[in-house]
Amino acid sequence: MNDSQICEIHIEKSALARKLESDLSIDWEFEVYNHLEPFYHLRACIEEDLIIEPGEIIPIPTGIYAQLLNPNFVIEVCSLSGLIYHHKVVMPEGVTYFPYTFRDEIWIFLENKNTEAMTIQPAQKIAQFTVKQPPRMVIKYVESIEQSPWKMNSGKSFIRRIKNIIKDRAGKRIKSSKNYEREEIERLLKDNES
């Protein structure tokens, strides 16, 4: 583990998080189960039970202000598997990222996918927190991307099937375009030029 990347983070607990620590006799700091565990839990920083109705999406504060000390990392927050499995409560965006420049309290959205109202309690664990080191992207705009040496028609046929089942507001099917290969397009263009 000596070659693993280290990301230092400064964490500030909100005033409400510190109050909840005292009121509920809990520690708002991240629990460390073992030093190989890459995830930490975020808690609902609320003073009273919060009801989420079926299909409702609600923003919830976590009481955590995070400052990354290395701009090569991002904070990643994702749904808590126990909350998904037992209560059908998820983060609707799946994963939320907070970059180096973020300097505020982490809030997350929770969505109730259940058919009944669900209750989030004060200090309940609601999400997982970790850091990632994404690669730097260098984007170059070109006239034409290179063809893949492998035929991947499954993706094209999947998109064609999606277009065939999507209906516009009038209830008409959207016409799908023919799936032309690059060589066919170039041939058609040359034919049109002549």
Computed over its alpha carbons, how large is the radius of gyration of the chain? 24
pLDDT value for 169: 44
Please tell me the distance from the alpha carbon of residue 7 to that of residue 132, in angstroms, as a whole number: 9
The model carries a pTM of: 0.70
pLDDT value for 175: 52
Domain boundary assignment for the chain: 9-132, 153-193
Identify whether the C-beta of residue 78 lies closer than 8 Å to the C-beta of residue 128: yes
Identify whether the C-beta of residue 114 lies closer than 8 Å to the C-beta of residue 56: no
Please tell me the distance from the alpha carbon of residue 79 to that of residue 42, in angstroms, as a whole number: 10
Amino acid at the residue 117? A
Tokens of 95: 């994963």
pLDDT value for 170: 44
pLDDT value for 4: 66
Q: Tell me which CATH code domain 9-132 carries.
A: 2.70.40.10
Walking along the chain (194 residues) 10 residues at a time, the average pLDDT comes out as 75 94 91 74 94 94 94 92 89 91 94 94 93 90 82 64 61 54 68 68
Beta bridge partners of 12: 65
Tokens of 33: 């189960």
